[in-house]
Chain A
Amino acid sequence: MVFSVVIIGELLAFILTLAPLNMASQRWNNLALISLFIQWNGLMCSAVLCLLRPFIKNYSQQFIAISSYLSILFILALLSELTFYIMQQYAITDIISATSHWEFLTHNLLIGGIISALALRYFYIQHQWRLKIEAESCTKLQLLQARIRPHFLFNSMNSIASLTRTRPDVAERITEDLAELFRMILRDNHELITWSKEKELSQRYIDIEQQRLGERLKIQWHTDTIPDNALIPALLIQPLLENAIFHGIEPEINGGSITVSGEFDSTKLKISIQNTNSKNLVHRQGNKMALSNIRERLHTHFPDNASITCHEKDDIYFAIVTMPYQHKPDE
């Protein structure tokens, strides 16, 4: 920031020396003096603002802006007075001999006021821009992690490493499952796929987790009523199954069971995922992104008549998705 202040100050010094057209002979001398004065001002203001920072940083933006600006003007006035005094005392130059004291002060305050306002504005915008970039990259990462729990990825890798020795055929199948799942996860998931495809993806996911959790994971599917050609947002069910495993199965020594059931009445689909809830006193802190992500996607595809609700009853946790029935045109 200090470097930018020096550059801005030097540019201002150039402009001020170049502006008057009739003083060609003295130009370089003037530039040196004006530079000295402006840099002195600029660096002094930067130093004072840095010192002020701990005292004003907790106030509102408006207060910070006004107090910074006023302190800059104050320093400008102070240094102008000092300069005027020194120059008069030692008669260093005749630049100011022609101008009155009052004129010198107002001149400096006006020019300095305008330039410092522009500079402050520039730094403010630059700061906002930097914040925005940081925020954006942060949300992108969160979105990605909402789709892929890092735990799942690394645990699966570990399962594969283990299976490779003892049951290479299963390792092969799990690798294929993982590839298929990730191909869908990494796609822009704002699309609709058929229920049969979604069910297949979910079952591949369960297949991977089954290897890891063994008997602890029990799952039942009662979804025969849902037509295969029904269209639903891609990867709607898989994150809900992931949640069920994370909160209901993994924390229990003896595991638990998940039931996926479907209802269909020619206009509407209802898919519910139920899992036995862990009785452990402390619940695991989950990733709330999954639910809000699903809600958002449902809203994009079916703005008014789709929903996801969650509730707990008698130690069973329910996540229920309802949406209108749309289907792929028959080929």
Chain B
Amino acid sequence: MKILIVDDEPLARERLTHLLTELNHDYQLIEASNGLEAIDQVNNEEPDIVLMDIRMPGMNGLEATSHLMSIDNPPAIIFTTAYDEYALQAFESQAVDYLLKPIRKERLEKALNSCSKLNKLQLEQLGQQNREISYRTHISAQIRNNLFLIAIKDIYCFLADHKYVTVKYNKEGALAETIIEDTLKSLEEEFENSFLRIHRNALIRKDNIEALQKQSDGRVLLKLKDLPEGLEVSRRHLSRVRKLMKT
């Protein structure tokens, strides 16, 4: 069995490694020190179980879990935490596996033997009950069975086209795009502070607006920095775009 230990504190990882080796010498152990590394490790190593700390820099455990849940065969996840009043209440109410640090060997063994896979519903509930740590810093897309992350700050816009939503983003200086599974409506709600709807099919990052261009046929296009072609602004959303540009 392959187990991934995710924790930002070296001492916490060290202790779990010791405990797990004592439980079974044959466990294959791998480590990650934050959510981003954890996703890399899951992509490359395909562990069976992930022991996931909740509070970590870069990407916290809840967000990493929400990304991992979108791959086809996600690992089982057991949360670990030293103290999280609200998260624990949520875990209790959703019957999600969690371990309190310092973790007891017997509790760890029990959790490993009985761990079940999280379902989407449980995860959604966890997010709703933990507003403070449930924001996403990344969007995930699945490419050939691998999970692939795009930082929110690199995204120019989301464009809806029939069934799919395409995200245009900055990939190491170059413009790139990929298809994601989120809907435009849910993205608009989640990122209402940093993104603005300008058309039925377009959501753009607010701090990336360059200029409004009126076309000869009466349409209004919005020019974004670093994006060659302008995006159409619908009449319904025009006033809000103007208001934003004034401030």
Binding site for B on A (CB under 8 A): 150-151, 153-155, 157-163, 165-166, 211-214, 250-253, 280-282, 284-285
Contacts and interface: CB of A to CB of B under 8 A. Distances in A.
13 contacts: A151-B83, A155-B83, A157-B82, A157-B101, A158-B101, A162-B12, A162-B18, A214-B9, A252-B57, A253-B33, A253-B57, A281-B152, A281-B153
Interface of B: 8-12, 14-15, 18, 33-34, 55, 57-58, 82-83, 85, 100-102, 132, 135, 137, 152-153, 194
A248 to B, nearest CB: 11
A250 to B, nearest CB: 6
Given A151-B83, A252-B57, A281-B137, A165 B18 contact: yes
A162 B14 CA distance: 7
A101 B190 CA distance: 72
A280 B63 CA distance: 15
Nearest to A155: B82
B9 A212 contact: yes
Given A151-B82, A214-B10, A253-B34, 4 more contacts: A158-B101, A159-B11, A160-B102, A250-B55
Nearest to B104: A161
B57 A158 contact: no
A252 B11 CA distance: 18
B207 to A, nearest CB: 11
Nearest to A285: B132
A284 B97 CA distance: 25
A250 B137 CA distance: 16
Contacts of A161: 15, 102
A150 B27 CA distance: 32
A253 B101 contact: no
Contacts of B10: 214
A284 B14 contact: no
Contact of B83 (A154, A212, A284): A154
Nearest to B16: A162
A124 to B, nearest CB: 34
Contacts of A166: 14
Does more than half of chain A's interface fall in helix, strand or loop, or is it mixed? helix
Contacts of B12: 158-159, 162
Does more than half of chain B's interface fall in helix, strand or loop, or is it mixed? loop
B83 A150 contact: yes
A153 B101 CA distance: 11
B65 to A, nearest CB: 17
B83 to A, nearest CB: 4
Nearest to B13: A162
Contacts of B83: 150-151, 153-155
Q: Which A-B residue pairs are the 9 nearest by beta carbons? A: A162-B15, A154-B82, A161-B102, A162-B11, A158-B101, A253-B58, A150-B83, A158-B102, A154-B83
Contacts of A214: 9-10
A282 B135 contact: yes
A307 B211 CA distance: 47
Contacts of A157: 82, 101-102
A211 B11 contact: yes
A214 B153 CA distance: 29
A170 B192 CA distance: 48
A161 B102 CA distance: 7
B5 to A, nearest CB: 12
A163 B14 CA distance: 9
Nearest to B82: A154
A212 B57 contact: no
Contacts of A151: 82-83
A163 B58 CA distance: 26
Contacts of B18: 162, 165
Given A250-B57, A253-B34, A281-B137, A158 B82 contact: yes
B185 to A, nearest CB: 22
A166 B85 CA distance: 30
B132 A251 contact: no
Contacts of A160: 102
Contacts of B34: 253
A285 B165 CA distance: 33
Nearest to A156: B82
Contacts of B8: 253
A226 B14 CA distance: 40
A77 to B, nearest CB: 50
Contact of B101 (A154, A163, A281, A282): A154
A158 B55 contact: no
Contacts of A153: 83
A212 B101 CA distance: 13
Contacts of B137: 280-281
Contacts of B11: 158-159, 162-163, 211-212
